[in-house]
Structure 1
Amino acid sequence: MSLLLRWPLSAVLVWLAAWLAHALAWPLAGPLAALLAASLVGAAGSLLERPWWRRALVAVGFPLALLLQGAAALPSWAWLLPLALLLLLYPLHAWRDAPVFPTPRGALAGLAGRVPLPPGAAVLDAGCGLGDGLLALRAAYPQAALHGLEWSWPLALLCRLRCRFAHVRRADLWAAPWGGYALVYLFQRPESMARAAEKARQEMAPGSWLVSLAFEVPGWAPQARLPGSAGQPVWIYQVPERGGGPPPGMSATGSGHASLPRRGAPT
């Protein structure tokens, strides 16, 4: 089964599923609805791909093939439907952030041993996408109060349905406050890590935790590093006093639990 999910077989499977959706929808709802249904299948399947160019190829594969072969007599504006669908899934506002890369299964194994949190501690997945990070956080902290922020409303809705154990809402992760969380988890991009560190320093309580998959915080000394998954380490940082520098050489298990935020996280 894992072989079928490898590139390019994974793309072929998504394209075949899109053609099947098109064939089934055409006699029932007409050409426009069939195009939209097939494009939705392709766009949803593209979210499982990485890097960005594979995602783009999978997403545009079906509408491009349909256009080139002239299989459908559609008005010219109809070809904007796939583009509109992609913009709904991944709006322009979020393009400066990381693409929709899912957190690999098991990536946060061992996190609770390095950063023990009390029951009910508020934990945030900032940019939760389809919820893979929330699932990994739940495996690490089954008694935590988990929260997710996602700017794309279709992804936020799907994540909410998939992760009913968490409080997921549509919001800009950079505008929403982080001050009520004991731990904030990120799977961003190298260019945004300095911004994330500054936001954590300004808003989060000293002694709380910033955890990043794959990418380090520039200028901060990590309190711990986990092997992660698929060659992507997990970097663990403790938030310093406001106005102070990053805490040098602190133990990842050295802070007490008394000051950590509990269930009163911002909603």
Structure 2
Amino acid sequence: MKRPRIPWPAPALLAWAGAWLTYAGLRSHTGPLAAWLVACLLGVLASLMARRWWRRLAVAAGFPLSCLMLWGLGGLAAISPWLWLGALGMLTLVYPLNAWRDAPLFPTPAQALDGLADAAPLPPGAAVLDAGCGLGDGLRALHAQYPQARLHGLEWSWPLRWMCALRCPWARVRRADIWLADWSSYQMVYLFQRPESMGRAAVKAATELPEGAWLVSLDFALPGIDPTWHRQGPGRHSLWVYRMPLGGPGEAVVHVPEPEETPYEKALREIQQRKG
């Protein structure tokens, strides 16, 4: 059963109203600065529910911009000179700096994984990982395909991890780095990453995933490896499915192109060769 969607811009108006009510309710108890920061945090968290980046930006920026329009620069500066640094800190909590090397927060569309259970069957109780689960849209799509699987999610941002756990109470969601976590106990790993990450994903999957396990990637293929199954989905999305060992039985070695050697690395290698 699909959830009823609130038509835009009603979600933004509700988030802005909630932020102003929060500010008004807290201002006399905590002071204007603390109340302003809490209201901004509420707006940032509410923005995560929007599906498009420009809507997220509108929801998150609505309250501070309305303050600017109402009070002017002088009014905002009177609250605290650290005001904008506090807002930036909140955004950093939601989007940690070391997470920017991976994919930004793009939710998995509801129908993006349709047909996956037929192409990559799993036994009941199989462990399935959404590596970089964000707000849980990928976990929900996996749950629709594998209702009897044991679903796990890894997310580095603790606010996203917390909200994902609330949205997906049937899954085990942990805060962890997807590249440092061990994948060896999973029968399937799902990724919605960036093209630059797929070589690293191929090496990790070939090294850690057991034989017969699946690696599933939305939109981006593993470099130089033929998929077990591929489907062009609705819109621009495509699904790439790989079974371990990569390359077929007896050929588990993955050859990923080496990054170009920097001048510093070249000089260091030449020095080491002369010493040897």
Smaller-chain TM-score bracket:
0.7 to 0.9
Q: Give the equivalent residue in structure 2 for 1:145.
A: 150
SS, match of residue 82 in structure 2: helix
Q: Give the equivalent residue in structure 1 for 2:267.
A: none
Q: Give the equivalent residue in structure 2 for 1:47.
A: 48
| Code of the aligned partner of 1:147 | H
SS, match of residue 234 in structure 1: strand
Whether 2:219 is the aligned partner of 1:222: answer no
Give 1:227 deviation, angstroms.
Answer: 3.9
Deviations 1:104-162 (A, max 9, x none): 11221211011110011110000011111111111111111111100011211222222
SS, match of residue 106 in structure 1: coil
Q: Give the equivalent residue in structure 2 for 1:4.
A: 7
Deviations 1:208-231 (A, max 9, x none): 111111222221212222344443
Whether 2:183 is the aligned partner of 1:178: answer yes
SS, match of residue 122 in structure 2: coil
Give 1:32 deviation, angstroms.
Answer: 2.1
| Code of the aligned partner of 1:219 | G
CA distance in 2: counterparts of 1:12 and 1:216, whole angstroms: 39
Residues 26 and 230 (structure 1 numbering): CA distance in 2 closer, same or farther, change over 3 Å?
A: farther
Aligned mate of 1:90, from 95, 100, 103: 95
Q: Give the equivalent residue in structure 1 for 2:63.
A: 62
Q: Give the equivalent residue in structure 1 for 2:272.
A: none
Residues 219 and 115 (structure 1 numbering): CA distance in 2 closer, same or farther, change over 3 Å?
A: same
Give 1:27 deviation, angstroms.
Answer: 4.1
Residues 60 and 229 (structure 1 numbering): CA distance in 2 closer, same or farther, change over 3 Å?
A: same
Q: Give the equivalent residue in structure 1 for 2:169.
A: 164
Give the conservation status (yes or no) of the 8 Å contact 2:51–2:107. Answer: no
Q: Give the equivalent residue in structure 2 for 1:115.
A: 120
CA distance in 1: counterparts of 2:172 and 2:7, whole angstroms: 33
Q: Give the equivalent residue in structure 1 for 2:27.
A: 26
Give 1:89 deviation, angstroms.
Answer: 0.8
Give the conservation status (yes or no) of the 8 Å contact 1:124–1:148. Answer: yes
Q: Give the equivalent residue in structure 2 for 1:37.
A: 38
Give the conservation status (yes or no) of the 8 Å contact 1:111–1:226. Answer: no
Give the conservation status (yes or no) of the 8 Å contact 1:181–1:208. Answer: yes
Q: Which moved more, 1:230-239 or 1:8-17?
A: 8-17
Q: What are structure 2's unaligned runs of at least 5 residues?
A: 257-276
SS, match of residue 217 in structure 2: strand
CA distance in 1: counterparts of 2:235 and 2:13, whole angstroms: 24
CA distance in 2: counterparts of 1:9 and 1:214, whole angstroms: 31
Deviations 1:208-265 (A, max 9, x none): 111111222221212222344443122111232432579xxxxxxxxxxxxxxxxxxx
Q: Give the equivalent residue in structure 1 for 2:253.
A: 243
Q: Give the equivalent residue in structure 2 for 1:261.
A: none
Residues 133 and 13 (structure 1 numbering): CA distance in 2 closer, same or farther, change over 3 Å?
A: same
| Code of the aligned partner of 2:240 | W
CA distance in 2: counterparts of 1:194 and 1:13, whole angstroms: 42
Give the number of the structure with larger relative contact order, counting CA–CA contacts within 8 Å between residues 6 or more apart: 1
Whether 2:107 is the aligned partner of 1:106: answer no
Q: Give the equivalent residue in structure 2 for 1:198.
A: 203
Q: Aligned-pair RMSD on alpha carbons? A: 2.5
Aligned mate of 1:130, from 103, 119, 135: 135
Give 1:81 deviation, angstroms.
Answer: 1.7
TM-score of the aligned structures, taking structure 2 as reference length: 0.78
Identity of paired residues, percent? 56
Give 1:61 deviation, angstroms.
Answer: 4.0
Give 1:64 deviation, angstroms.
Answer: 4.1
Give 1:193 deviation, angstroms.
Answer: 1.4
TM-score of the aligned structures, taking structure 1 as reference length: 0.80
Max radius of gyration: which structure?
Answer: 2
Give the conservation status (yes or no) of the 8 Å contact 1:52–1:99. Answer: no
Pairs aligned (count): 244
